[in-house]
């Protein structure tokens, strides 16, 4: 597998604050690579060092075989960047922005299909100031794709979007990869990383604490699945404890949590309840998530 | 070249969509012309050395337009582009900073020129404006003055920490320059004390140079003005190039 990005021992310091503390990783071609971690963990600094917008204090970065500082202009011809903080002139119209940015690149791409793909056709004559948060974000993504880049950077893509817009954005990112592009994204939503990324680097306080596929990261926890339900009456918990896969049972008020492992856990729990004639409701299962991985690795919640 | 052309075109549209900027460049000078033209007319008087009020005012209003665009438009636009993240977004593309700079200079220069041409044409048609100089000389002086004030505008934008500061400093510099340089009212009306103050205001040198060449003075009579404006241009370019920031 070829590398789109290689980062070796990258360091960036702001005064006394070590923002990025010697991190190394590779991003493969045609994968969605995610960097997740809480705000202030060093994600944006890392992504901007790779894009060539910030000068690292140490270590080396190679992107598409180029040096982001030395070969900046050449590199920016081939990458697409969505920045966490950026703006356009509030009176510029959507089509003008696309037409303008298209002229910055030597690779000529017709931007009209992009307008449609991002659902901005109806807004093509609207000024930037009149766009909603989601439309703004989609315009910035259109601008990031306008040169048909080999590598796309998306920094905090869905921050500030409602859940529906967020899901639409995920589909969009998947479609970018399906076109043979590489995507490097940062997010502080663990769910987003889990849903979207082929591989995830968890970053905390400027260091990578784990890097693998979301499935492997979760499996490595060895954490238990949970079956949660509510009951109105007292019931005998003993048959439940004996059900296949169950390791323990907790009861808090009318809420019951059954911990266990294996594929037969849910079936076993339901059978035991039916056999005992227990009236239960709101039954659902909870799998360990990247949130749990982060908690286990750092001893802290993602959002504090 | 394609990016320069597109960016210049878009910037020109944005300029015209900004009612305040277009007003002060294109409309306000005409309002001044009509206001004072209707009061004083353009009959030759001894007070203006055998010329009319409009004859003396038009080159001065040209200086006013130059001052507005340099100290207000350029300074505020550039500082705002930086503060809001527009420059940041450009920086993530292969766009060269020189292209951004040139497009700003071109658009603002063309707007300034349009404002000046509109003023001259209207003054000629309505008040029979008299011109005693050499067109090429006046154009040369106009270009020098414009670039010099643009350089000060970029300098202001580079040194101001925020767009708000650029705005305030621009205003604080602009108003004394406007009223005490002879750009808005003729220096012939000023008492000696005010004339003294006007010597430290850069716009005075634009007014003197443009008025002088307008009435046919040779360049040799205005070497001080030329030296001051060239100096401002050099300092503005060097310092703003050294202190330029994307964000």
Q: Are A138 and A88 in contact (CB under 8 A)?
A: no
CA distance B177 to B196: 13
Domains of chain A: which residue ranges?
3-219, 224-287
CA distance B91 to B67: 29
8-state DSSP, A231? E
Q: What is the architecture of the domain spanning A3-219?
A: 3-Layer(aba) Sandwich (3.40)
Pick the CATH number of A224-287 from 2.40.160.40, 3.40.190.10, 3.30.70.980, 3.40.640.10: 3.30.70.980
Q: Are A58 and A9 in contact (CB under 8 A)?
A: yes
User: Which residues in chain A are contacts of B2 at CB distance < 8 A?
Assistant: 103
Does residue A126 belong to the interface with chain B, where contact is any CB pair within 8 Å? Answer: no
Asked if B13 and A96 come within 8 Å (Cβ–Cβ), the reply is yes
pLDDT for A303 equals 58
pLDDT for B173 equals 95
Does residue A88 belong to the interface with chain B, where contact is any CB pair within 8 Å? Answer: yes
Minimal-distance CA residue of chain A relative to B94? A73
Confidence of residue B243 (pLDDT cuts 50, 70, 90): confident
Does residue A227 belong to the interface with chain B, where contact is any CB pair within 8 Å? Answer: no
Helix pair B202-214, B53-67: axis angle to 10 deg:
140
pLDDT for A52 equals 93
User: What are the φ and ψ backbone dihedral angles of A113, each rounded to 5 degrees?
Assistant: -60, -30
From A100's Cα to the closest Cα of chain B, the distance in A is: 6
**Which positions ≥6 away from A210 have C-beta within 8 Å?**
A200, A201, A202, A217, A220, A293, A297
Q: A101, A108, A125, A154: best mutation site toward chain B, by most B Cβ within 10 Å?
A: A101
**What is the residue-level pLDDT of chain A in tens, covering all 304 positions?**
689 999 999 999 999 999 999 999 999 999 999 999 888 889 999 999 999 999 999 999 999 999 999 999 999 999 999 998 889 999 999 999 999 999 999 988 899 998 988 889 999 999 999 999 889 989 999 999 999 999 999 998 888 778 888 888 899 899 999 999 999 999 988 889 999 999 999 999 999 999 999 999 988 877 778 889 998 877 788 888 888 888 888 888 888 889 888 778 888 888 888 888 888 888 888 888 888 888 888 877 765 4
pLDDT for A304 equals 45
Domains of chain B: which residue ranges?
2-243
**Fold: same for A3-219 and A224-287:** no
User: Which residues in chain A are contacts of B10 at CB distance < 8 A?
Assistant: 92, 96, 100
pLDDT for B178 equals 94
Asked if A104 and B13 come within 8 Å (Cβ–Cβ), the reply is no
Minimal-distance CA residue of chain A relative to B99? A104
Query: What is this model's ipTM?
Result: 0.88
User: Which residues in chain A are contacts of B104 at CB distance < 8 A?
Assistant: none
Does residue A164 belong to the interface with chain B, where contact is any CB pair within 8 Å? Answer: no
CA distance A296 to A274: 35
CA distance B237 to B247: 19
Q: In whole numbers, what is the pLDDT of chain B averaged over residues? A: 94
User: Which residues in chain A are contacts of B3 at CB distance < 8 A?
Assistant: 103-104
> Side by side, which strands form the sheet with A151-155?
A79-82, A151-155, A182-187, A32-36, A199-204, A207-212
> Side by side, which strands form the sheet with A225-231?
A246-252, A255-260, A225-231, A280-286
């Amino acid at each position: 597998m070829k590398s789109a990005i290689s980062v070796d021992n990258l360091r960036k310091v702001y005064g006394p604050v070590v923002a990025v503390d010697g991190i190394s990783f590779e991003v493969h071609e045609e994968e969605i690579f995610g960097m997740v971690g809480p705000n202030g963990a060093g994600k944006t600094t890392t992504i901007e060092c790779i894009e060539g917008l910030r000068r690292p204090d140490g270590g080396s970065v190679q992107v598409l075989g180029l040096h982001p500082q030395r070969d900046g202009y050449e590199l920016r011809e081939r990458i697409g960047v969505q920045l966490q903080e950026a703006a356009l002139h509030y009176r510029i119209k959507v089509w003008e922005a696309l037409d303008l940015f298209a002229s910055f690149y030597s690779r000529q791409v017709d931007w009209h299909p992009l307008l449609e793909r991002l659902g901005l056709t109806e807004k093509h004559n609207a000024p930037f100031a009149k766009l909603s948060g989601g439309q703004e974000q989609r315009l910035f993504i259109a601008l990031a794709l306008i040169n048909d880049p080999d590598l796309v950077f998306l920094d905090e893509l869905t921050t500030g979007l409602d859940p529906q817009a967020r899901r639409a954005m995920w589909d969009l990112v998947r479609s970018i990869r399906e076109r043979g592009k590489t995507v490097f994204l940062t997010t502080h939503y663990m769910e987003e990383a889990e849903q979207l990324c082929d591989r995830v680097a968890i970053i905390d306080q400027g260091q990578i604490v784990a890097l693998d596929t979301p499935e492997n990261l979760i499996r490595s926890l060895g954490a238990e699945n949970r079956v949660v339900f509510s009951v109105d009456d007292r019931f005998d918990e003993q048959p439940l404890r004996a059900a296949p896969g169950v390791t323990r049972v907790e009861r808090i008020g009318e809420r019951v949590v059954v911990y266990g492992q294996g594929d037969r856990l849910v079936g076993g729990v339901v059978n035991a309840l039916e056999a005992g004639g227990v009236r239960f409701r709101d039954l659902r299962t909870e799998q360990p998530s990247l949130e749990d991985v982060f908690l286990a690795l750092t001893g802290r919640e993602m959002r504090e | 070249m394609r990016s320069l052309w597109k960016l210049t075109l878009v910037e020109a549209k944005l300029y015209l969509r900004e009612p305040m900027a277009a007003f002060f460049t294109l409309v306000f000078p005409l309002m001044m012309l009509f206001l004072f033209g209707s009061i004083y007319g353009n009959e030759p008087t001894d007070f203006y050395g055998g010329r009319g009020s409009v004859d003396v005012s038009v080159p001065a209003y040209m200086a006013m337009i130059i001052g507005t665009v340099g100290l207000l438009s350029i300074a505020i636009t550039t500082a705002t582009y930086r503060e809001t993240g527009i420059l940041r977004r450009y920086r993530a593309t292969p766009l060269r900073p020189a292209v951004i700079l040139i497009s700003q200079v071109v658009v603002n220069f063309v707007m300034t020129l349009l404002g000046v041409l509109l003023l001259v044409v209207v003054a000629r048609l309505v008040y029979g404006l008299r011109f005693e100089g050499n067109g090429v000389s006046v154009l040369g002086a106009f270009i020098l003055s414009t670039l010099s004030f643009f350089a000060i505008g970029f300098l202001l934008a580079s040194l101001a920490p925020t767009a708000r500061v650029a705005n305030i400093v621009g205003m604080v510099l602009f108003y004394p320059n406007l009223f005490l340089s002879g750009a808005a009212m003729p220096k012939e009306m000023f008492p000696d004390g005010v004339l003294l103050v006007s010597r430290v205001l850069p716009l005075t040198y634009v007014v003197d140079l443009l008025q002088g060449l307008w009435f046919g003075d040779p360049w040799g009579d205005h070497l001080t003005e030329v030296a001051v404006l060239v100096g401002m241009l050099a300092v503005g370019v060097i310092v703003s190039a050294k202190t330029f920031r994307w964000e």
